[in-house]
Amino acid sequence: MNRRHFIQLATLTSAGFALSGTCAFADWKVRRPVNIILPYKAGGGTDSYARAVASAGDGLFPVPFVVVNKPGSSGMVGATEAARGRPDGTTVLLTSAGSFLLTSMLRDTDVTPLESFRIVAQIGKLTTSLMVPYDSPYQSLDDLVADIKARPGQVRWAHTGNGGFHNVAGQGFLDSNDLDAVGVPFKGGSATRAAVIGEQVSFGMIGIQQAAGFEEQLRPLALNSDTRDTFMTDVPTFAEAGYDAVDVSSPIIVFAPKDTPDDVVAALEAALKEITSSQAFIDAMAERGNAPVYLPGAEAEANLRAMKENAGPIISALK
């Protein structure tokens, strides 16, 4: 009797859970695991988002989320594979959408974020910032700008590779303030950070979360965003420091192949909303200095289109 009672109770509670808020994805009958294609190596910044989604989303569907790393060609190998994937919701792409968009613009790739995919939802956002070595003579953005004006074309700055969102944001800042400095690409975030710390360059454009733990080696002077960072609250935005900048960031977006049906996309969107608001996901992100930024698919898509407009002139100048 006790056992029967327990089972009844369990059925009731789980039904209750299903009714409260989870109904949007409860009727999606998925049989195979959901493969999250991640177009970078395991262990990188975007990878940690995918792993956090997979562990926080465990149990939402009868099948698990599986992270599949497909690195290569600045993220285009994985994106191409995901675009060709079965459009039934069991293949999705989780990527740094700013880099994906800008790479597709710079290289005219066959697969593009807006034409080859449907946007499910945004789950996070990477923001770039202008950093100088700790012992740098520049105490503020004003000092740096004055020096670049005094020595046009002689100040060197580091970024993570041509056409990346750090590069476009840095070039956007220089262009909109009529400044002339030479950009030097390094391979990825940690190499760029090391070049700035080692004073190989005068400043660098680096993701704000990369400064965590390097407070005695680096000083962020300005953040390329309209609001301040959740963790590094004392870094002013470019606007607060009194300079124009181009609004380029890299939202972390989950994409589904173009022909994925509406109800499946809606179910995934609802699941991602639930995952990003869960404590497990928030904690996993906070460990790396990131905060979840959930946006529904339609809003994320509008932002991405706006970024495409903003970056257009800078990209054509880089080509």
- Range 277-296, binding another protein (CB under 8 A): 284, 287-288
Assess 161 for contact with another protein (CB under 8 A). yes
Q: Which is nearer to another protein, 264 or 311 (CB)?
A: 311
- Range 195-214, binding another protein (CB under 8 A): 195, 197-198, 200-201, 212-214
Assess 73 for contact with another protein (CB under 8 A). yes
Assess 162 for contact with another protein (CB under 8 A). yes
Assess 28 for contact with another protein (CB under 8 A). no
Assess 186 for contact with another protein (CB under 8 A). yes
Residue 306 C-beta-side C-alpha neighbours within 13 Å: 12
Assess 308 for contact with another protein (CB under 8 A). no
Q: Which stretch binds another protein (CB under 8 A): 22-30, 124-132, 153-161, 245-253?
A: 153-161
Phi-psi region of 17 (alpha: psi -120 to 50; beta: other; left: phi over 0): alpha
3-class state of residue 120 by DSSP: strand
Spell out the residues 6+ positions from residue 218 whose beta carbon is closer than 8 angstroms to its own. 131, 132, 133, 134, 193, 196, 197, 206, 211
Spell out the residues 6+ positions from residue 233 whose beta carbon is closer than 8 angstroms to its own. none
Rounded Cα distance between 272 and 312, Å, is 30
Assess 110 for contact with another protein (CB under 8 A). yes
- Find out whether 187 and 178 touch, Cβ atoms under 8 Å: no
CA nearest neighbour of 203 among 232, 225, 183 = 183
Q: Which is nearer to another protein, 32 or 107 (CB)?
A: 107
Assess 228 for contact with another protein (CB under 8 A). no
- Find out whether 246 and 314 touch, Cβ atoms under 8 Å: yes
Assess 217 for contact with another protein (CB under 8 A). yes
Shortest distance, CB of residue 175 to another protein, whole angstroms?
Answer: 18
Sign of the C-alpha dihedral computed for residues 271, 274, 276 and 281 taken in this order: negative
Rounded Cα distance between 109 and 103, Å, is 8
Report the residue from 22, 69, 136, 310 that binds another protein according to the rule CB under 8 A. 69
For the stretch 113-130, what's the b/e string if a residue is b when 16 or more beta carbons lie within 10 angstroms of its beta carbon?
A: bbebbbbbbbbbbbbbbb
Assess 316 for contact with another protein (CB under 8 A). no
Assess 58 for contact with another protein (CB under 8 A). no
Report the residue from 38, 53, 76, 82 that binds another protein according to the rule CB under 8 A. 76
Query: E-strand spans in the chain?
Result: 34-38, 65-69, 91-96, 117-126, 128-133, 156-159, 182-185, 203-207, 218-223, 250-257, 295-296
Assess 43 for contact with another protein (CB under 8 A). yes
Q: Which stretch binds another protein (CB under 8 A): 2-10, 76-84, 244-252, 294-302?
A: 76-84
Shortest distance, CB of residue 16 to another protein, whole angstroms?
Answer: 32
Assess 33 for contact with another protein (CB under 8 A). no
Q: 């996309």: which residue's tokens?
A: 265
Shortest distance, CB of residue 154 to another protein, whole angstroms?
Answer: 7
Q: Which is nearer to another protein, 9 or 182 (CB)?
A: 182
For binding to another protein (CB under 8 A), which residues are involved?
A: 41-44, 47-48, 51, 68-74, 76-77, 80, 106-107, 110, 154, 156, 161-163, 182-187, 190-191, 193-195, 197-198, 200-201, 212-217, 284, 287-288
